[in-house]
């Protein structure tokens, strides 16, 4: 598994590189991805995120995370010995840190949530329909509680609010 992390603006990442790689690997393993994949993770400032959200989603305001799936981790037409380009996750740490208190989270916990959220998008989860949103949110909750336990934190302290519907968009 390869994770290419870009932070050209030298923004506070909120999570160190080792934890980012651990979360990516953990989500892949939990979702049954056994083949080699590559993921690009970029930290961008609020202005750049606003432009990307406008360009790719037609929403003229900033957001916390964007995901762009490339290859499917479950595509049987791609040879198993060939690494897949799973996709790109873009995080806006300034937005994440600002919204964290609204959800009762630390900036780090909110960043973990956004990273898991982005990873699930790359693995085919979506939240357009209510049932999809409920399934995605339940999986986020489960994964974040397992990650908390692995860090030695209390899994019951994890707060995953109703975030997957993007009603604020």
- Residues 12-67: tens digit of each pLDDT: 999 999 999 999 999 999 999 988 999 999 999 999 999 999 999 999 999 999 99
Domain ranges of the chain: 2-157
Instruction: Report how far residue 4's alpha carbon sits from residue 127's, in angstroms, rounded to the nearest whole number.
Output: 26
The superfamily CATH assigns to domain 2-157 is Metalloproteases ("zincins"), catalytic domain (3.40.390.30)
Residue 25 marked ligand-binding: no
Q: The whole model's pTM is what?
A: 0.91
| 114-159 pLDDT, tens digit each | 999 999 999 999 888 888 888 999 999 999 999 999 999 988 888 7
What is the Cα–Cα distance from 56 to 54, expressed in whole angstroms? 6
Other beta carbons within 10 angstroms of residue 9's beta carbon come to: 13
């Amino acid at each position: 598994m390869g994770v290419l992390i870009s932070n050209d603006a030298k923004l506070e990442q909120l999570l160190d590189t080792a934890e980012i790689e651990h979360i990516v690997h953990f989500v892949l393993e939990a979702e049954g991805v056994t083949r080699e994949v590559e993921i690009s993770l970029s930290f961008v400032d609020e202005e750049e995120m606003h432009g990307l959200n406008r360009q790719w989603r037609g929403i003229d305001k900033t957001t916390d995370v964007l995901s762009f799936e490339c290859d499917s981790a479950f595509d049987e037409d791609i040879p198993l010995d060939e690494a897949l380009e799973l996709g790109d996750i873009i995080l806006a740490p300034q937005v994440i840190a600002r919204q964290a208190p609204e959800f009762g989270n630390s900036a780090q916990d909110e960043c973990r949530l956004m990273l898991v959220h982005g990873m699930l998008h790359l693995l085919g989860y979506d939240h357009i329909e209510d049932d999809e949103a409920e399934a995605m949110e339940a999986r986020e909750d489960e994964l974040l509680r397992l990650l908390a336990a692995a860090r030695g934190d209390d899994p019951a302290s994890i707060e995953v609010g109703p975030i997957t519907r993007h009603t604020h968009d």
